[in-house]
Amino acid sequence: MGKRKKVDIKKRRQKLIKEKKKEQQKKSVKVEKKSTKELDIRLEKETKLYWIRAITGFSSAIIGRLLFGLIGWFLFLWMLTWWFVFPFVVNFFIFKYDFVKEEWTWKNVILPGIGIFFFLFMIGGVFLHTLLFFIPDFSSILEVFL
């Protein structure tokens, strides 16, 4: 029969342990990359919509008051228009989000960012109206140019 080859069990075990660790690290990296579950996708959509609502709230107050000279009930109706119509425009025409028909409700579009929209609309509108109050005979920029 010939000579048997001497195998060092400790070295072989260490080598196998290193290989197993590398495989586990590769698997954990793959698992971390595939974390795009339905919940993550929905939260990403809501986060984008939230920040767009924040920007829209402030800018619509400034545009309504400065450009068109809206005050009182007209400014309130302007706010409601931007509050309820613009999120649908953003969702369906700008971002073109696809909603699952069984899970879709209008609340998924309207609810994200209601508080920040209202808060920034009020801050921007009140601050700008207060500043413009001290300019005599000023109602809107359009009136100045027309």
Tokens standing for 118?
């209202």
Write the pLDDT tens digit of every residue in 11-52: 888 888 888 888 888 777 665 555 567 778 778 878 888 898
The reported pLDDT for the residue numbered 102 is: 60
**99 in the Ramachandran plot: left (φ > 0), alpha (ψ -120 to 50) or beta?**
beta
Tokens standing for 57?
């709230």
Identify the residue with better confidence: 16 or 115. 115
Tokens standing for 74?
């007209």
Tokens standing for 88?
């649908």
Contact 109, 36 (CB under 8 A): no
Contact 69, 143 (CB under 8 A): yes
Report pTM. 0.66
Q: Which of 20-24, 33-37, 95-99, 101-105 has the lowest mean pLDDT?
A: 33-37
Contact 130, 65 (CB under 8 A): no
Q: What is the number of other CB atoms lying within 10 angstroms of the CB of residue 99?
A: 14
The reported pLDDT for the residue numbered 40 is: 80
Residue that the structure tokens 């500043």 belong to? 131
